[in-house]
Chains A and B, each alone.
Chain A
């Protein structure tokens, strides 16, 4: 009894004065969204106050926290930063407030198409695109020269990339650990080969699984080839983004596919002297490699969309205003400069300040524009988990059997006929 009283006491002291408080659940970004929240609070002129609460580092765990609270119809979830792949699930479950068409037009205007697609479910917009992300091919210029290749040449493929690394005794860093980042790689390869993992997602657990296709086998071939070659990282099956970066900085560093944060991280580490000071000047970037020379690559798509909780007290009023502030073009630019996360609107990338800070801004913009979102389905967690489970470790991938096995496994998982 005393404990219960204590809890009430603790809970009651959250509201401050008369200003309505909106709680924004953010993914960790070293305080970038918290600073933006403060800016929007100030800009609201006392109409609302945004406080932030941080979610776990891992995308899957972010979803875990949000979904469990939303399922409890938690009214404390006013605004939330969502990984694009989890919007469909939350929308289908009725956890998110849909934006009426009039509002939606504003939030999608000038926004990259993959970001809009990922934020839309059943024809309605459920989240406002906030920032967008994609992967580039990062490489050591000196290694490319030695290998006699130009990663920026049109038609540069994974096969040529792996050959170049093998020839020069260097490595191709990728994300091969059993986590969402591996799914990012698989999906980009399948999409670049002209296929898709899930079709007809609107049919829920009856969606058609299409990973057992020529494109799926092509993706498996590349993964299997890299994983078994000398160009693979020794820790490929546990590598996430940072291991790939460390690999690039090491003595066998050559190439890697990775997100846009690399530029700032490398410059920061070089300045601190923990990596060789000449690495940033040796660092090159190119568009995501192709699967086949005659088909454009479909780079991965990531980022954050901002959703409004369906049970919040201010969901139709203040929360909408706050999201409008958060996702305004000037704030996207400000956030990009502050945190290094690319804006969701193409126009931001033409800003001179952005171009000065991010020399590869144009390439990032073009890559996001043609990026392939991961399957948009309410069962994304199961689809992704099932694919990862059958495609991991990368060295075990067999182009003849893995796509087929993973397809039937995804089906069984979707029908609750298998553990995951």
Chain B
């Protein structure tokens, strides 16, 4: 039993477990129970320690340093400036331009991937011809290194080395000289690389749609379109929400494609890239960490909106019971 179990079943289970726990309360806690506790914590410890080491400390450190004016090349010049770095970032038009770019990239990729991914899932679900081949082909982009996929798309659209302009008869149209055309190529490569993930989640969702429901609807004279909207989609709502949540947060952090394809030129810079350039390239640690913290907060915000607003039940996403 994994995740998309029906709510009543989950409730039953939680209830049963709840009583069990109360039954095993303090004094009655058997040796077995105590051993189990110890073992549970012991087994979880290594993973938790590693995850904490890489995230918790650096995050606290970033929070702290973001309150200073501090550059790596002038270490003696470190001054406490309170929230000034945040004020600088939040009042800077570049920050909001990058928020806009990131938002557009995220929105477009997620919507397109959902539609294309659904199509792919349908094909995989129904395909009679070369079913295995299709599945394998869909997995290829998923496994390709993002940087390499970015290079492939960049070279393809590059005026001097690519074939796209020749094939489409676009003459010397310069894809990477305009904001929207550059973003299109970035989005295209992102879609190519990550749609497989979405389509596999949706495929699993499709498998959950009771077949007899669709058949009943057909008998009632529903068109294919009506069946899709009235039967299929509502029944795989959970899978769709999970796919959207994961891809949104992933696209929000887009970095590799931008780095390789435009290096943020033509206003294609995203929040991740902005953070990278302040902390790593410019070595303005204080200001950069402030942007990094803002990026982190934006991710938290999105997650909260999804979990509260759309009621994506994460406890079921992750297979907890």
Residues of A within 8 A of B (CB): 60-61, 64, 67-68, 71, 89-90, 92-93, 177-179, 234-238, 243, 246, 378, 381-382, 385, 392-393, 416-420
Contact = CB atoms under 8 A, between A and B. Distances in A.
Contact of B265 (A67, A243, A392, A419): A392
B252 interface: no
A71 B73 contact: yes
B191 interface: no
B94 interface: yes
B225 to A, nearest CB: 44
B277 interface: yes
B74 interface: yes
A71 B72 CA distance: 6
Contacts of B95: 419
A382 B71 CA distance: 12
B208 interface: no
A128 B260 CA distance: 34
Given A60-B281, A67-B283, A381-B282, A419 B266 contact: no
A378 B72 CA distance: 12
Contacts of B117: none
Interface stretch (B51-59, B194-202, B284-292, B302-310): B284-292
Nearest to B85: A416
Interface string B62-81: 00000001001111000000
B177 A237 contact: yes
Nearest to B98: A419
Interface in B256-312: 262-266, 274, 277-278, 280-284, 286-287, 291
B28 interface: no
Nearest to B277: A420
Contacts of A393: 177, 266
Interface string B147-184: 00000000000011000000000001110110000000
A419 B295 CA distance: 14
B226 interface: no
Interface string B13-37: 0000000000000000000000000
Contact of A420 (B75, B278, B286): B278
Interface of B: 69, 72-75, 85, 88-89, 92, 94-95, 159-160, 172-174, 176-177, 262-266, 274, 277-278, 280-284, 286-287, 291
Contacts of B286: 416
Nearest to A71: B72
A92 B76 CA distance: 12
Given A64-B281, A177-B265, A416-B88, A238 B174 contact: yes
B274 A71 contact: no
A193 B89 CA distance: 36
A358 B89 CA distance: 51
Nearest to B89: A419
A60 B283 CA distance: 12
Contact of B266 (A64, A67, A93, A237): A237
B286 to A, nearest CB: 7
27 contacts: A67-B73, A68-B280, A68-B283, A71-B73, A71-B75, A93-B74, A93-B75, A179-B263, A234-B159, A234-B173, A234-B174, A235-B160, A235-B172, A235-B177, A236-B177, A237-B265, A237-B266, A381-B283, A382-B282, A385-B282, A393-B177, A393-B266, A416-B287, A418-B94, A419-B88, A419-B278, A420-B277
B284 to A, nearest CB: 6
B88 A417 contact: yes
B172 A234 contact: yes
**Interface-centre pick from B74, B262, B274 (highest chain A CB count, 10 A):** B74
B9 to A, nearest CB: 43
Nearest to B287: A416
A416 B174 contact: no
B25 to A, nearest CB: 38
A56 B286 CA distance: 25
B50 to A, nearest CB: 11
A234 B159 CA distance: 9
Contacts of A71: 72-73, 75, 283
**Interface-centre pick from B160, B266, B284 (highest chain A CB count, 10 A):** B160
**Which 5 A-B residue pairs are closest in the complex by CB-CB distance?**
A234-B172, A235-B174, A71-B72, A93-B73, A178-B265
Contacts of B277: 420
B94 A68 contact: no
Given A90-B73, A237-B177, A237-B265, 18 more contacts: A61-B281, A64-B281, A67-B283, A68-B72, A89-B73, A178-B264, A237-B174, A238-B176, A243-B160, A381-B281, A416-B69, A416-B88, A417-B88, A418-B94, A419-B88, A419-B278, A420-B277, A420-B284
A418 B92 contact: yes
B274 A419 contact: yes
Contacts of B172: 234-235
Contacts of A235: 159-160, 172, 174, 176-177
Given A178-B265, A237-B265, A238-B265, A419 B94 contact: yes
A378 B73 contact: yes
A219 to B, nearest CB: 21
B267 to A, nearest CB: 10
A89 B95 CA distance: 27
A71 B74 CA distance: 9
Contacts of A237: 174, 176-177, 265-266
**Interface-centre pick from A89, A92, A93, A235 (highest chain B CB count, 10 A):** A235
A291 to B, nearest CB: 26
**Interface-centre pick from B73, B277, B284 (highest chain A CB count, 10 A):** B73
Contacts of A236: 177
Contacts of A67: 72-73, 283
